[in-house]
Amino acid sequence: MSSFDRRTLLLSLTALAGCGFTPALAPGGSAEGLRGSIAVDAPPDRQTFLLVQHLEQRLGKPNGASYRLAADLSISERGIGRDPDYNTTRRQLTGTLTYRLYAMGSETEVASGRVSNFVGYGSTGNTVVTLSAESDARGRLMVILADQLVTRLIATAPDWRA
């Protein structure tokens, strides 16, 4: 029979600390000082605004930024579920975010890449319900893409940070 044991957990965490594990954003971590150092280009639309908003929550608002992030967002939508009368009952949004990170004040690209993911929503209710579900799905997609981008930036920070 398996049960949760706090002592085992604490010993495991102590072992991690002993083996040189350091949180990436902590002092001495590989992405130390990343918070507040990336300014994201102004968003052209609502989806990109939600993306930038979540990026700033995760990376901090730029304060003397050393880098500028340019992001191109594309979203496609398709029906993935049908009822017996061939009415679409479920839709899928696929988002792709292509990013370029530049040293502030220059066009020197220090990092670039692409992240992609998808979300779904039901479209079986009336128009108001479907529009609300779509709006919520678009918001969730922006959070997912922003989290993927932040994870990628943190993981690759030692390669592009000065």
Residue 45 has pLDDT above 70, yes or no: yes
> Residue 7: inside a domain, yes or no?
no
Residue 2 has pLDDT above 60, yes or no: no
> Residue 97: inside a domain, yes or no?
yes
> Residue for token digits 């304060």?
63
> Residue 18: inside a domain, yes or no?
no
> Residue 57: inside a domain, yes or no?
yes
Strand order in the sheet with 67-82: 38-40, 67-82, 88-103, 109-122
Q: Model pTM?
A: 0.81
Range of the domain at 52: 40-160
> Residue 6: inside a domain, yes or no?
no
CATH number at 59 reads 3.30.160.150
Classify strands 38-40 and 67-82 as parallel, antiparallel or unpaired.
parallel
> Residue 22: inside a domain, yes or no?
no
Which stretch of DSSP H or E encloses residue 75? strand 67-82
> Residue 11: inside a domain, yes or no?
no
Residues β-bridged to residue 67: 38, 103
> Residue 47: inside a domain, yes or no?
yes
The span from the CA of 145 to the CA of 39, in Å, is 17
Domain count, the chain: 1
Q: What is the pLDDT of residues 51-106, one digit of tens each?
A: 999 999 999 898 888 999 999 999 999 988 888 887 888 889 999 999 999 999 88
